[in-house]
């Protein structure tokens, strides 16, 4: 069900306010290190890390028109550009776009990246003008029905959209999370982890849908507790093995990477 215009305006104002706080908390933009570029240049398909898997799906983007949807502070924008794409970096927040511009300058990607202020609910691009949509944790901030329609509209026939999103399909885990009082400061009242059925509904208008799940609860716990790097690395590797051997454990996963094709 599409929100009424006033409700949608309130939604977007809340997101702009949240983004402004995120921009302040981000601190000074730093040049992306060569090690980060190397990590995401050509990741394996069996990687246990969601972000690496997203860039594996992205692959060679040379000559492609790419929309970085909800680019935020541009952490992924220049990494996408490094895969060869001509990137339009879209965000509703001028504060975050200012950080994206600074990052593209520091990373030497200004010729490949065009920042654009606009809403996911009404993407200011022509229909069929994009070969690939790339979204890192953006859909859980927006109205999915409107976002799906807009992503489908701007994609050219045969175009792909790749997303990674927080998910929470287990009612038990949702109940446990509700008992934990801590909330990050840059959270809007409208964002929420997605349910699997919401993702499938988003994907229904596309001709193909593929997904992979990541991060069982113990992985998140080790990260929150700031366990040492070796423990975390082992946890991610074990996570991938468990989810591959027992797919039903995916019900308790907290991250989904999915790809749709128009």
pLDDT tens digits along 154-193:
999 999 999 999 998 866 555 555 545 445 555 556 668 8
Whole-number pLDDT of residue 182? 47
> What's this model's pTM, rounded to 2 decimal places?
0.89
Is 144 within the bounds of a domain? yes
The CATH number given to whatever domain includes residue 148 is 3.40.50.150
Is 60 within the bounds of a domain? yes
Confidence of residue 79 (pLDDT cuts 50, 70, 90): very high
Average pLDDT over residues 32-41: 97
Is 137 within the bounds of a domain? yes
Is 175 within the bounds of a domain? no
Please say if the pLDDT value at position 22 is more than 80.
no
Whole-number pLDDT of residue 257? 97
The percent of the chain in helix, strand and coil, each rounded to the nearest 5, is 45, 20, 35
Is 247 within the bounds of a domain? no
What average pLDDT does the chain have? 89
Digit-coded pLDDT (tens) for 205-218? 999 999 999 999 88
Is 230 within the bounds of a domain? no
Strand-pair category, 255-261 with 155-166: antiparallel
Q: Which residues pair with 167 in a beta bridge?
A: 194
Report, in angstroms and rounded to the nearest whole number, the Rg of the chain calculated over CA atoms. Answer: 18
Please state the three-class secondary structure of 77-111 as a single string.
HHHHHHCCCEEEEEECCHHHHHHHHHHHHHCCCCC
Is 80 within the bounds of a domain? yes
Element housing 257 (H / E): strand 255-261
22 lies in which domain range?
Answer: 5-166+196-213
By residue count, the chain amounts to: 262
Domain count for the chain:
1
The CA distance from 183 to 223, in Å, is 16
Is 252 within the bounds of a domain? no
Answer whether 99's CB lies under 8 Å from 23's CB. yes
The CA distance from 128 to 151, in Å, is 10
Whole-number pLDDT of residue 218? 84
DSSP 3-state assignment of 57?
A: helix
Please say if the pLDDT value at position 64 is more than 80.
yes
């Amino acid at each position: 069900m599409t929100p009424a215009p006033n409700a949608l305006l309130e939604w977007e104002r809340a997101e702009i306010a949240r983004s402004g706080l995120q921009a302040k908390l981000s601190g000074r933009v730093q040049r992306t290190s060569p090690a980060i570029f190397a990590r995401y240049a050509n990741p394996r398909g069996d990687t246990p890390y969601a972000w690496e898997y997203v860039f594996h799906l992205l692959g060679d983007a040379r000559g492609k028109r790419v929309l970085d949807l909800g680019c935020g502070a541009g952490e992924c924008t220049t990494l996408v550009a490094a895969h060869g794409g001509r990137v339009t970096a879209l965000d509703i927040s001028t504060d975050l776009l200012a950080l994206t511009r600074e990052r593209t300058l520091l990373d030497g990607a200004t010729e490949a990246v065009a920042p654009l202020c606009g809403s996911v609910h009404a993407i200011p691009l022509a229909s069929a003008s994009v070969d690939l949509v790339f979204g890192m944790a953006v859909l859980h901030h927006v109205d999915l029905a409107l976002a799906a329609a807009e992503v489908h509209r701007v994609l050219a026939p045969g175009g792909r959209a790749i997303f990674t999103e927080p998910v929470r399909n287990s009612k038990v885990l949702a109940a446990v999370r509700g008992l934990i009082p801590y909330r990050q400061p840059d959270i809007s009242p409208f964002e929420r982890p997605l349910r699997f059925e919401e993702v499938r509904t988003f994907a229904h208008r596309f001709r193909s849908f593929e997904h992979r799940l990541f991060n069982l609860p113990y992985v998140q716990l080790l990260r929150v507790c700031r366990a040492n790097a070796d423990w975390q690395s082992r946890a991610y590797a074990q996570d991938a093995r468990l989810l591959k051997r027992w797919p039903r454990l995916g019900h308790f996963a907290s991250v989904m990477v999915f790809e749709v094709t128009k």
